[in-house]
Amino acid sequence: MPRERRPPARTAPGRSATSRALSVLDAFDGGHRTLTLSHIARRAGLPVATAHRLVGELCAARLLSRRPDSRYEIGARVWQLGLLAPPASLREAALPHLQDLVITTGRTVHLAVLDGDRALVVERLASSRTQPTRHRPGGHTALHCTAVGKVLLAHSPPAVRDEALRSPARYTPWTITDPGTIRRQLDAILTSGYAQSAQEHRQGVWSVAMPITGPSGVVAALGVLAPLTAPRLADALSPLSAAATAISASVADVDLGDVTESPVPVDPVDEPAP
Amino acid sequence: MPRERRPPARTAPGRSATSRALSVLDAFDGGHRTLTLSHIARRAGLPVATAHRLVGELCAARLLSRRPDSRYEIGARVWQLGLLAPPASLREAALPHLQDLVITTGRTVHLAVLDGDRALVVERLASSRTQPTRHRPGGHTALHCTAVGKVLLAHSPPAVRDEALRSPARYTPWTITDPGTIRRQLDAILTSGYAQSAQEHRQGVWSVAMPITGPSGVVAALGVLAPLTAPRLADALSPLSAAATAISASVADVDLGDVTESPVPVDPVDEPAP
DNA sequence: GGAACGCTTTCCGTGCGATGGAAGGGGTGA
DNA sequence: TCACCCCTTCCATCGCACGGAAAGCGTTCC
């Protein structure tokens, strides 16, 4: 007699197969770089059997990889694909000048773009002797109390500005939480061309930032961090301005994607001589 | 009378829904950072209607984004996810020391890992005044004729070594294509601790590299480029060695992923003060 | 002007592959 | 020894992925 079997009840009918696979990727974040199959299933809200199948496919596509300890992690393929995304292109164009800025100022430098109601940190550069920072590439930071955030906010449409100033969070005793005061600062930034934050995001840290402009307005903000003990504004502004100008020029050349179509993908980086 | 309609013929039955969605992502590469819907469909080998649906889902998940000119590009989400992958972790640990190395040598520096029968460039750092290079992060380079490649090859299992030396490609008149000669160089690298390449990959460029060691052996190679006119080996070896040691120490602390499970993903980078 | 072309978007009938409960095997700690 | 957790495989059902067709739109070319 054939075994009795009822069809499996769908956990979440209406979710497409693709969205389920992508929810597996979403199970990973900064605090969960490696996960077991069961963790993935729980965090993605999927039955283990389903997660098992999807994980297998994602591994075959190298979007996930399996570690020797049988845990899973995001695969190198995702990293490579991510380098094609706009933040990576911006980073690539800016990197030499960020480098120059670190050398001339000896400070930690940041490059950030607007991402909804937060700033997305695109790159953070520092030598081993400069002070560490909480901001990491791919992470977010607040708009109303950091120098880079203020620059981005000052050049944002009113809707973004209003949203960000609706209820400014307090990070330190020096954080400005009065929307009116911040608005006046933002207006001043538009005329002065640079923004400051004095311990408003983190105690003991002072920062100054300037906008990076692309063909269609302000695309990013470039900031320099310094300990509060030596906030010589004049020392920072000149090299910062030079770097911002240089990056803006580089950015203008980028981003007009290659339109030509080639049937076979080629690696433009590394081809043997004929 | 209802319209007559035959079921659509499956283009490639056997391919899973997930693999089709991923083939859309695979349509993008270094030479094709932005694509129209039709290009995606052709490159992925999918009917346009199918590609349209998949692209819509990937956009909803922010793995793709649509530009103002209605072309598609890899989304910032992929870039963020990619930062969780091993190459990005390695890069993050090494960055301050790469920075130091650029400052002390004034040269372009490379960090690369083994990826099959090629070297995967994890990071390339240079100021705006150092010479440009063909190697870009995420790109590949040959193992047998670059300094970083030789380091990786020297510390690889015999199978990898044999495969890479089966038919070494020629890049310049100075490229060594005799497997026996390369093997002797690799053996020498194991005892001397560093590798060189003198115009073997690119005319006019000289490079030297050293291994980065993690808990389980050699995990990466660190290299410095210089124009052929000033290949002072002694000047480069000392700072290179110091940086390699420092990075090896940093790497040892990384990679043991967070095992704790939290139901709600939190952003560890940026939390308001209580 | 208008025909031809390419690209995008929507529609919807079909049938196939995604689905997940169940079972089994393995490892670990009490 | 038992209890618990994790991973893996199996497979019967039916939900939804599939893609041809057609319509809309902008551009190019006689």
Same domain, B45 and B118: no
Answer for B68: CB within 7 Å of strand C: no
Q: Is it the case that residue A268 has pLDDT exceeding 80? A: no
Contact between A109 and A94 (Cβ < 8 Å): no
Q: Could you read off the pLDDT of B118-177 as tens digits, one per residue? A: 999 999 988 777 666 777 899 999 999 999 999 999 999 999 999 999 999 999 999 999
Q: Is it the case that residue A79 has pLDDT exceeding 70? A: yes
Same domain, B97 and B38: no
Whether residues B33 and A73 touch (CB distance < 8 A) is answered with no
Q: Could you read off the pLDDT of B90-101 as tens digits, one per residue? A: 999 999 899 889
Same domain, A54 and A96: no
- CA B51 and chain centroid, separation: 28
Same domain, A23 and A101: no
Best mutation site among A22, A29, A79, A113 for testing chain B: the one with the most B CBs within 10 Å? A79
Residue B99: enclosing H or E segment and its boundaries?
Answer: helix B86-105
Give the whole-angstrom CA distance, residue B221 versus residue A135: 27
Q: Which of A48, A80, A112 is the last residue of a domain?
A: A80
Same domain, A47 and A143: no
Residues of A in contact with B80 (CB under 8 A): 82, 138
Output A183-186 pairs: Cβ under 8 A, ≥24 positions apart. Answer: A185/A150, A186/A150, A186/A153, A186/A154, A186/A161
Contact between B130 and B108 (Cβ < 8 Å): yes
Residue B222: enclosing H or E segment and its boundaries?
Answer: strand B217-227
Answer for B52: CB within 7 Å of strand C: yes
Residue A145 lies in a domain: yes
Same domain, A91 and A53: no
For strand C, the positions having any atom within 7 A of a protein Cβ are 6-22
Q: Could you read off the pLDDT of B235-254 as tens digits, one per residue? A: 889 999 999 999 999 987 66
- CA B77 and chain centroid, separation: 18
Taking alpha carbons only, the member of B40, B54, B11 closest to residue A21 is B54
Strand D neighbours among A 18-57, CB < 7 A: 18, 36-38, 48-49, 52-53
Q: Which of A40, A65, A80 is the last residue of a domain?
A: A80
Task: Give the CA dihedral A149, A151, A157, A161, nearest 10 degrees.
Answer: 50
DSSP structure class, residue A2 = P
Dihedral over Cα of B39, A271, B227, B146: its sign: positive
Residue B269 lies in a domain: no
Nucleotide nearest to B47 (CA to C1'): D19
Count CB atoms within 10 A of the CB of residue A253.
9
Q: Which residue shows structure tokens 């290949």?
A: B231
Whether residues A127 and B96 touch (CB distance < 8 A) is answered with yes
For strand D, the positions having any atom within 7 A of a protein Cβ are 5-22
Answer for B50: CB within 7 Å of strand D: yes
Taking alpha carbons only, the member of A219, A158, A171, A163 closest to residue A197 is A171
Q: Which residue shows structure tokens 């003990």?
A: A229
Residue A134: CATH number of its domain = 3.30.450.40
Instruction: Report the DSSP beta bridge partners of residue B217.
Output: B214
Distance A248 CA to C26 C1' (A): 59
Give the whole-angstrom CA distance, residue B270 versus residue B265: 13
Contact between A78 and A69 (Cβ < 8 Å): no
What is the residue range of B61's domain? 17-80
Q: Which of B57, B80, B103 is the last residue of a domain?
A: B80
Instruction: Report the DSSP beta bridge partners of residue B226.
Output: B206
Answer for B60: CB within 7 Å of strand D: no
How much is the CA Rg of chain B, to the nearest whole Å?
23
Taking alpha carbons only, the member of B137, B132, B136, B134 closest to residue B107 is B132
Greatest mean pLDDT range, A6-15, A17-26, A229-238, A246-255: A17-26
Whether residues B136 and A92 touch (CB distance < 8 A) is answered with yes
Same domain, A194 and A93: yes
Nucleotide nearest to A20 (CA to C1'): C18
Q: Could you read off the pLDDT of A242-263 as tens digits, one per residue? A: 999 999 999 877 644 332 223 2
Q: Could you read off the pLDDT of A143-191 as tens digits, one per residue? A: 999 999 999 999 999 999 999 999 999 999 999 999 999 999 999 999 9
Give the whole-angstrom CA distance, residue A221 versus residue A211: 4
Give the whole-angstrom CA distance, residue A272 versus residue A270: 7
Residue A245 lies in a domain: yes
Same domain, B92 and B72: no
> What is this structure's pTM?
0.88
In chain A, the DSSP E strands lie at: 34-35, 64-66, 72-74, 109-115, 118-125, 140-141, 195-198, 205-214, 217-227
**Residue A47 Rama label (left phi>0; alpha psi -120 to 50; beta):** beta
Distance A251 CA to C4 C1' (A): 39
Q: Could you read off the pLDDT of B99-118 as tens digits, one per residue? A: 889 888 988 999 999 999 99
Q: Could you read off the pLDDT of B184-218 as tens digits, one per residue? A: 999 999 999 999 999 999 998 999 999 999 988 99
Count CB atoms within 10 A of the CB of residue A5.
6
> Percent of chain B having pLDDT more than 70?
86
Q: Which residue shows structure tokens 């190679």?
A: B221
